[in-house]
Amino acid sequence: MNVRTLCLGILAFEEASGYEIKKAVEDGMFSHFIEASYGSIYPALTQMLADGLVSVREQVQEGKPLKKAYSITEAGRKALKNSLHELPQQDKFKSEFLFQALFRDQVDPKHLEAVFNEQMDYLCGELATIEECRQSVEPGSGHAFVNGYGHAVVSAAIQYMEESRSSLGLPQKPISSDAAE
């Protein structure tokens, strides 16, 4: 999948600016597909505008910079549908974190612990976000499936990592960003 299709997908749900798309991809409802930087989002929108897949509405805001709100057009919806049918890759299970874990005896223990904890924090953060989202998505929708899948997979990862702490020679309770404080 490319950034164009991702943007088109987001715009199929809601009008958005390049900036808002970036936020949605980083954190929001669309953070579980692919990553995208400003350097790919803005050119994608410009190109799609030229191709007639999206339209712009320039919003003048008080006390804030000019915002270009993009909307999907009928041609855009068609193009999205088309892209959806052409996506060939089923996604493979890949993880760079696991690569680091594989060579755990090659890295120094402090670093291993840091990597492990960062990964753990990320996963816990994701789980929290997913659980928050659950309230706002309607059951049976595409979003609900995405959330459910995410929840299942991320929980499993967290659970396995928690169980593996000792076998990796890591201290049992690191900082616990949740319960404490």
Residue ranges in contact with DNA by CB under 7 A = 1-4, 17-20, 23, 35-40, 42-46, 61, 63-68
Question: Applying CB under 8 A, which of residues 38, 43, 57, 98 lies at the interface with its own copies?
Answer: 98
Decide whether 15 or 113 has the Cβ nearer to DNA. Answer: 15
Measured distance CA(140)–CA(22) in Å, rounded: 27
Question: Applying CB under 8 A, which of residues 74, 108, 138, 181 lies at the interface with its own copies?
Answer: 108
Whether the CA torsion 75, 77, 71, 17 is positive or negative: it is: negative
Q: Decide if residue 123 touches its own copies (CB under 8 A).
A: yes
| DSSP state string for 21-71 | HHHHHHTSTTTTS----HHHHHHHHHHHHHTTSEEEEEEP-TTS--EEEEE
Q: Cα Rg for the chain, rounded, in angstroms?
A: 20
Decide whether 38 or 149 has the Cβ nearer to DNA. Answer: 38
Contact yes or no for 32/150 (Cβ under 8 A): yes
Measured distance CA(24)–CA(137) in Å, rounded: 15
CB of 153 to DNA, least distance (A): 22
CB of 58 to its own copies, least distance (A): 28
* Residues binding its own copies (CB under 8 A): 1, 5-6, 9, 12, 31-35, 77, 80-81, 84-85, 87, 89-108, 111, 115, 118-119, 122-123, 126, 140, 142-143, 145-146, 148-150, 152-157, 159-161, 164, 167-168
